């Protein structure tokens, strides 16, 4: 296969994977809690910063861990931490808007995103400056004259694994059943002795942790991290989820692949494409929303009159 084409394909899959990890969070949170968590991207972006801090702490303490092992530990720890952060934010802020009009919850989570970003910027040493993020893997695999970066394989592989695990969790575990019950009908679920608070917490944990790894992949791919990367990543992830149909996990995947496809195509086909990628991505989002307001796989909501 043409080496260049392979490179583009890989790029598409890598970006698609990253966006999927974020979009899944949005869809999950909307499906189960009926909340549009606008700050999801910013919450996820705290992950790389925590990972960075841990790596630096480990290096400073000169522990007998190789660089890769240290990074791995840092990333895993960051995932757990962000999962907990998500739960904390729900408890502090988001749950107070469960019964509010959608608009208020929306503005509140937008503001929450700002707060998180600013806290990163002010609390992390020299937070305003971009920080280099270590590459997760630098090697390549060569098949014929096709060069495949190990990093791409890791991203795609881990993402597929996470998505599969998530699907398995939702479909085949008791917790998953409860999550689906709550997503489908909260009042009935309550009657069936499901504790919604617990399910909400679990959902936030999963969504945030998965988002964190998406953010880590994103910054590793980019090589740097900045406190406000969460805005863009969050918006793209949200757009992907919306295009696919909020609440639909398949939709999140579909939307992410679509957006990643546009992203790559624009960079390849349009002169000076890198500057215009956001324009095309968001124009696509607008177009889809105009013609299919509930997204491609979303179920149109019938208001009971």
Partner 1 sequence: MSQTGIHVEAPVERSGTSLDASIVVAVELGSAVLLGAFLLSEQTAIVVLLLAVMGAIFGLLQWRPAFEERIVAAFHDQQQLAIALGAVIVMVYPFFMQGSSYALHLLIVAQLYAVLALALNFQLGSANIPNFATGASYGIGAYTSALLAINFGVSFWLTLPVAAVVATIFGFLLGFPSMRTKDSYLALVTIAFGIVVHQLLNNFSWTGGANGLVGIPAPSLFGHSFTRPIEVLGFRLPSQANFYYLSAALVGLSIIAARRLHNSRVGLAWNALRADPLAARCQGIDIVWYKMLAFGVDAFLAAFAGTIYAFYVSYISPDNFTFLVSVTIMTMVIVGGMDNTLGVIIGAFLLTMLPEKLRIFSDYRLLFVGVVVILFLILRPQGLFPQRARNYGAHR
Residue 147 binding partner 1, by CB under 8 A? no
Quick one: how many helices (H) and strands (E) in the chain?
A: 11, 4
Q: Is 141 helix (H, G, I), strand (E, B) or coil?
A: strand
- 41-70 per-residue burial string, b: 16 or more CB within 10 A, e: under 16: bbbbbbbbbbbbebbeebeeeeeebeeeeb
Three-class SS state of 38: coil
Among 9, 119, 148, 156, binds partner 1 (CB under 8 A): 119
Q: How far is the CB of 246 from partner 1 (least distance, A)?
A: 8
Which of the residues 36 through 55 are near partner 1 (CB under 8 A)? 36
Nearest residue (CB) to partner 1, 69 versus 274: 274
Q: Using the rule CB under 8 A, which residue among 63, 69, 110, 141 binds partner 1?
A: 110
Minimum Å gap between C-beta 32 and partner 1 is 16
* Residue closer to partner 1 (CB basis): 63 or 110: 110
Contacts of 197 (CB under 8 A, 6+ apart): none
Total residues binding partner 1 (CB under 8 A): 41
Q: Sign of the CA dihedral 295, 298, 300, 302?
A: negative
| Terminal-residue alpha carbon distance, the chain | 57
Binding site for partner 1 (CB under 8 A): 36, 93, 96-97, 100-104, 106-108, 110-115, 117-119, 122, 231, 235, 238-239, 242, 272, 275-276, 278-279, 282-283, 285-286, 289-290, 293, 303, 305
């Amino acid at each position: 296969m043409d080496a260049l084409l392979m490179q583009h394909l890989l790029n598409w899959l890598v970006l698609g994977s990253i966006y999927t990890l974020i979009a899944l969070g949005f869809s999950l949170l909307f499906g189960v809690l009926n909340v549009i968590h606008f700050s999801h991207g910013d919450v996820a972006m705290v992950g790389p910063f925590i990972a960075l801090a841990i790596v630096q702490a480990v290096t400073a303490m000169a522990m007998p861990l190789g660089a890769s092992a240290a990074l791995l530990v840092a990333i895993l720890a960051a995932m757990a931490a962000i999962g907990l952060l998500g739960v904390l934010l729900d408890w502090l802020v988001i749950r107070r808007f469960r019964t509010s009009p959608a608009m208020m919850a929306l503005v509140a989570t937008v503001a929450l995103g700002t707060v998180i970003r600013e806290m990163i910027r002010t609390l992390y040493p020299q937070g305003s400056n971009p920080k280099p993020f270590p590459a997760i893997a630098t090697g390549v695999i060569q098949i014929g004259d096709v060069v495949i970066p190990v990093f791409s394989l890791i991203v795609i592989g881990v993402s597929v694994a996470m998505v599969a695990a998530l699907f398995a969790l939702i479909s085949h575990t008791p917790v998953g059943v409860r999550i689906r019950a709550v997503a489908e009908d909260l009042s009935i679920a309550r009657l069936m002795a499901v504790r919604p608070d617990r399910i909400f917490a679990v959902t936030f944990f999963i969504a945030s942790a998965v988002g964190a790894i998406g953010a880590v992949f994103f910054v590793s791919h980019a090589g740097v991290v900045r406190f406000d990367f969460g805005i863009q990543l969050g918006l793209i992830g949200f757009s992907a989820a919306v295009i696919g149909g909020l609440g639909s996990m398949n939709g999140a995947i579909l939307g992410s692949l679509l957006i990643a496809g546009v992203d790559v195509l624009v960079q390849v086909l349009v002169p000076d494409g890198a500057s215009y990628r956001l324009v095309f991505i968001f124009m696509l989002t607008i177009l889809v929303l105009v013609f299919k307001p509930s997204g491609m796989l979303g179920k149109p909501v019938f208001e009971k009159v």
